[in-house]
Structure 1
Amino acid sequence: MKHLLSAAAAATLLAPAAHAVEIEVAYAYSSLFDPTFARIMQAFETAHPEIEVRFRATYENYEDATNTILREAVAGTVPDVSFQALNRQRILVDRGIAQPLDPFIAEETGFETEGYHQAMLDLSRFDGHIYGLPFSVSTPIGFYNMDMLRAAGIDEVPATWPEVIAACKAVKAAGHEAIYWHWDISGNWMLQTEMWSQGVPTIKDGKLNMDTPEGLRALETAQAIFRDCEMKNTGGGDASKAFAAGELGMFFSSTAYVSFVDRSKLGDWEFVTAPYPGQDGAPKALPAGGNAAMMTSASDDPEVRAAAWEFIKFTTSGEGAAAVALTTGYVPPNQKANDLLMADFYAKNPNKMTAVAQLPLLSEWFAYPGDNGLAVTQVIHDGLEAILVGDATDMEELRDEMVEEVNALLPR
C-alpha cells in the first residue's frame, strides 16, 4: 500500500465548502495523470463547490488498480470512483463492484449530444449496460530521435519491424542505445499489439490464440528486438526518461508518454512520433489502451452517488477530456473535445496526432476471462521476460508452453 498522495491529490485537500458532499477517487500512473487531474480539479472545484474530492494514493499500474480494488471490496473500503484499465472493467462488473451508469445517464438531458459517441461508450458496455465512461484512449506508437537515426544513416522513420531491426543495428553500430519496446506494460498490451497488427486476436473462442503462425511471429519479433537489438533490461519508465534525455534512438510504447517527453526533453534534437510498425506493411489492427471512470461506491447515500456521477461526467466531458489531451498523449474519447482541439491543437502538436490517426484501427484490448485473468497476465509476462534474459531461445517451444499453461488457467 502506498502512503504518499500524488501532487494532484494534495492540491485538492482544501477546506470543504459548507455542507459539502465528500467523495473518494483513485487512479493509476501518477507520473502521467497528476498534471491531468490538477488541471481538471481547477475547473471542477469552481463548477461544483458543493463536492469535496479526496484522492487516494495512486495505483502503481493497472494490475495494481484491479488487485487493490478487489481487496478493498472484501473489506468494504472501495473508493467512490475508480479509474480502471479498459481490459479490467469486466472483472469488476462480474464481481458486482462496478455500478451501472444507465440510471444516471437516463436522467441527463442531451447526453448523446455531449460527445459520448457510441463507439467509445461500447468500450465500457457489458451485458447491455454501461459501467464506465472512457477517460483516456491510447494506441501504441513509435517515438524516434531523428538526429540519432540520421547519424546512423537512417533518413526515414522505419515502417515495418524488419526495417526497425535494421535501424536499431545501425544505431548500435554508431555507438548509441538503440531501442526499447515496452514489453511489460500493463495487460500484455504490446504482445497483444503484435497479434492484432497481423489481424489476429490474442483470445479466440475463450483460448489463447497463439498456437498459430502469427503467434510464433509475435514472439520471434520480441526475440529480435531483445537479442538482435541488444535491448537493455530496464523498465518502461526508465526507458522513457532515457529517450527524453536524448540517450535512446527508438521507444515503442503508449502515446500516453508524448507529453512526458515534451516536458522532459533535454537537448536540441528532433523528436518525432510515427504509426506503430507492422510486419509486412501497416498494422491491420491495434488494441485500444487506456482507462475508464467507474462508479465503485459502496455508499447507500444518494447524495454521495450523485456526487460521484457528477465527477465521472465532468472528467469525461469535453472539458475534462480536453485536459487529457493537453497534459498527456492520450486521445480524448469525447468527440466534443476532439472537435475543439482538432482545428488548432493538433496542428501545433503533430506528435499527438499520430494516435488520433490510428483510431480507425482500434480493436479490443483483451481481458483474460475468469478468476485467473491476472494470473494469465503474469504467465505471459514471465514468458516474455524469459526471452529478454535469455532463458528462452526456442520460440516455438516457448509458444507451446505458454498456450498450454494459459489455457489451463482459462475457464473451460
Structure 2
Amino acid sequence: MSDPRTTTRRRLLSGLGALGVGGALSACVGPTITGRGTGASAGAEAAVLPAVSADKATGTVSFAHWRAEDKAVFDTLIAEFRTQNPDANVVQDVAPSNDYQSTALQKIRGGQIGTAFVAFRGAQFVAMNKAGIYAGLGAQPFVDGYFAELVKAGQAPSRAQMGLPYQLVFNMPIYNEDAFEQAGISEAPKDWDGFLALCEALKGKGLVPIAWPGGEPANSGQLINSMVMNAMPTDTAFADIEAGRGKVTDDWFLQVLGQYKQLAPYFEPNSTGTSSEPLQQLFASGKAAMLATGSFHVSAVRKLGAEFPIGLVAPITVAADKARYEGVYNATFILGVNAAGEGQQAALKWLEFLSDPVNAATYANGTAQHVTVKDVDYTNADLKHTAPWLEKKTMLAPRFQFNDLDIRAAVEAACVAVVSGTSPDQAASEAQGVIDQKLR
C-alpha cells in the first residue's frame, strides 16, 4: 500500500496540498516569507559569550523546553552529542507549554535549571531578555548557518543576537485532505463565504468541521492568527492595540468577532472547554476535518494513528480581492544560553551541535517541523508535503505582536466569549476594559 502522505498521490486540492517540491528545499536560498510585522524584540542585553571552544564539551547541560512530543528525538540527538563529547551530557527538563509559558522565567533564572533553554517568540522572549537571562551569543560562527531573516526574533533592539529561533512553523489549521476530497472540496476557499461553505459541506458529511481548543489559552489563540491576517487595517494592528493606538472595539475587530460567532456551529461540542490533546485524537481518528492549531501538531496526530494526507489551510476572512496573505508562519523555540550559573561553554556547544544541518535535519524529520537552519535535507513525508508553504505569501503570526500576555489574553478571551454566546460588542468592550487598565 502506498504512503498516503506522498506527494505523488493524486490530489484534487490545488493550492492546498504539496506541489512536488519534495526535498528541493535543501538547495534553496531560503524561504520567501513576507509580511514579518514588527522588528526585533525589546529587552536588555546580558554579557556576550566568547566564541564557542574547539575543545570537546564537559559537564552536564540542563536543557529546558516545552516540547514533550520531541523528547525522543532530542534523546537521539543527545546520544550523538555524547559520542562527540564523551565527558558531557544533556538532561532534558520538559514542562507542558502552558506551564512553561507562565513559570519558565522564574524556574531558570538562577541557572541551576536551563543552562540551555528556549523561549516562545514575543512576550516570553521579551520578558526573559529584559530579565537578563539570555547570554549574548556574539559572533558565533554557527549563527551564519541560519536564515538571517528568520532569526531576527531572537535579537535585542541593537540587533545583537541573544537567541536562535529553531522552529519554522505554520500557525494555521491543519486538515484531512481525504475528508475534504470526500466532501467535494476541490480548491482552497478564496473568501469568507467560501470558507463557511466548506465548513457546511464537511458538516454535511457528519464530520466536525473544525476542532478548536477553546479551553486551552496556549492553543485557542492560534486560530486568531489567520482570522485577522487579512482583516487587520495594518500589519501592526495588534501592536497598535497594545500601544493604545487602536482598540478591540474598532470596526475591523468587531467584524472578526462576528466571524467567530459564525464559526461556532462548526466547532466541536463544548469547544470553549476543550484542550488540544483530545482534539488531536478526534482529528487523528478522522472525525474532525480540521485541527485549528498548527503544523507543530502534525507529528502528534501521526503518533495517534493518522494515516491520511495532511495539509494546511487558512480561513480567508475578507473578499478574495482584499486578501494580502495566504497564511501565517512563526519562527519560535528560541534557543539560548543562560547567563546565570555555570556551564555556558557546554551549553554553547549544545547549541552549536543543534545548528549543524545534519543534526537540524534529524530534529526536523523526526518531529515533522521545518527549521530555520540552512542546507537541511528534508526527508520527512509531511515536511515534503507542506514545503510549498515556504514559497507562499505568509504573514508573521499576528498574536506574537503582543508583548504583554495580559493584553493578549484579553483579546483572545474575547473570541472565546463570543463562541460561548456573548455578543461581539460586549466581548470587545470587556476586553478593552482590561487593556485600558493595563495601559494606565
State the TM-score, normalized to the length of structure 1: 0.79
Instruction: Select the structure with the greater relative contact order (CA < 8 A; seq sep ≥ 6).
Output: 2
The partner residue of 1:68 within 103, 112, 126 is 103
Cα distance in 2, alignment partners of residues 55 and 38 from structure 1: 8
Structure 2 SS opposite 1:361 = strand
Preserved contact between residue 139 and residue 358 of structure 1 (Cα < 8 Å): no
Q: 1:232 to 1:145 in 2, by over 3 A?
A: farther
| Correspondences of 1:153-172 after superposition (within 5 Å) | 153-172=184-203
Could you report, residue by residue, the CA deviation over 1:317-375 in whole angstroms, capped at 9, with x for unpaired residues? 323322332022322101222xx33xxx3778543325423475336653534xxx233
Name 1:53's counterpart in structure 2.
Answer: 90
Cα distance in 2, alignment partners of residues 263 and 325 from structure 1: 16
Q: 1:376 to 1:249 in 2, by over 3 A?
A: same
Name 1:374's counterpart in structure 2.
Answer: 405
What code does the residue aligned with 1:384 have? C
Name 2:304's counterpart in structure 1.
Answer: 264
Name 1:26's counterpart in structure 2.
Answer: 64
Structure 2 SS opposite 1:336 = coil
Cα distance in 2, alignment partners of residues 348 and 145 from structure 1: 12
| Correspondences of 1:68-107 after superposition (within 5 Å) | 68-72=103-107, 77-87=112-122, 88-102=124-138, 106=139
| Correspondences of 1:6-405 after superposition (within 5 Å) | 20-31=58-69, 33-56=70-93, 58-61=94-97, 63-72=98-107, 77-87=112-122, 88-102=124-138, 106=139, 108-109=140-141, 111=142, 113=144, 115-128=145-158, 129-182=160-213, 184=216, 186=218, 188-199=221-232, 200=234, 201-204=237-240, 206-207=243-244, 209-227=247-265, 229=267, 232-233=270-271, 234-266=274-306, 270-279=308-317, 280-281=319-320, 282=323, 284=325, 286-288=328-330, 290-299=332-341, 301=342, 304-337=343-376, 340-341=377-378, 345=379, 349-358=383-392, 361-362=395-396, 365-366=399-400, 368-369=402-403, 373-390=404-421, 392=422, 394-405=423-434
Cα distance in 2, alignment partners of residues 329 and 213 from structure 1: 39
Could you report, residue by residue, the CA deviation over 1:122-145 in whole angstroms, capped at 9, with x for unpaired residues? 111112221101111211233233
Deviates more, 1:155-164 or 1:322-331: 155-164
Structure 1 SS opposite 2:117 = strand
What code does the residue aligned with 1:126 have? A
Could you report, residue by residue, the CA deviation over 1:366-386 in whole angstroms, capped at 9, with x for unpaired residues? 3534xxx23334333432332
Unaligned runs of 5+ residues in structure 2 are: 1-55
Preserved contact between residue 289 and residue 365 of structure 1 (Cα < 8 Å): no
Structure 1 SS opposite 2:371 = coil
Could you report, residue by residue, the CA deviation over 1:119-169 in whole angstroms, capped at 9, with x for unpaired residues? 122111112221101111211233233333344343444344432322222
Cα distance in 2, alignment partners of residues 261 and 230 from structure 1: 17
What code does the residue aligned with 2:146 have? Y
Preserved contact between residue 141 and residue 355 of structure 1 (Cα < 8 Å): no
Structure 2 SS opposite 1:242 = helix
Q: 1:315 to 1:159 in 2, by over 3 A?
A: farther
Cα distance in 1, alignment partners of residues 428 and 399 from structure 2: 20
Greater fraction of residues in helix? 1
Structure 2 SS opposite 1:276 = coil
**What's the offset of the Cα at 1:209?**
4.7
What code does the residue aligned with 1:124 have? G
**What's the offset of the Cα at 1:55?**
1.5
What code does the residue aligned with 2:358 have? E
Q: 1:396 to 1:334 in 2, by over 3 A?
A: same
**What's the offset of the Cα at 1:240?**
1.7
What code does the residue aligned with 2:315 have? P
Preserved contact between residue 196 and residue 287 of structure 1 (Cα < 8 Å): no
Could you report, residue by residue, the CA deviation over 1:26-59 in whole angstroms, capped at 9, with x for unpaired residues? 110312x223312322322222223211112x12
Q: 1:71 to 1:213 in 2, by over 3 A?
A: same
Preserved contact between residue 135 and residue 338 of structure 2 (Cα < 8 Å): yes
Preserved contact between residue 166 and residue 333 of structure 2 (Cα < 8 Å): yes
State the TM-score, normalized to the length of structure 2: 0.74
Preserved contact between residue 166 and residue 371 of structure 2 (Cα < 8 Å): yes
Q: 1:176 to 1:363 in 2, by over 3 A?
A: closer
Deviates more, 1:44-53 or 1:280-289: 280-289
Cα distance in 2, alignment partners of residues 19 and 382 from structure 1: 46
How many residue pairs match? The answer is 370
Could you report, residue by residue, the CA deviation over 1:97-129 in whole angstroms, capped at 9, with x for unpaired residues? 222111xxx2x45x465x223212211111222
Structure 1 SS opposite 2:292 = strand
**What's the offset of the Cα at 1:250?**
1.8
Could you report, residue by residue, the CA deviation over 1:278-307 in whole angstroms, capped at 9, with x for unpaired residues? 2234552635253111222521x4xx1111
Structure 2 SS opposite 1:41 = helix
Name 1:11's counterpart in structure 2.
Answer: none
Structure 2 SS opposite 1:53 = strand
Structure 1 SS opposite 2:79 = helix
Q: 1:191 to 1:85 in 2, by over 3 A?
A: same
Cα distance in 2, alignment partners of residues 354 and 381 from structure 1: 29
Structure 2 SS opposite 1:49 = coil
Preserved contact between residue 60 and residue 90 of structure 2 (Cα < 8 Å): yes
Cα distance in 1, alignment partners of residues 390 and 164 from structure 2: 19
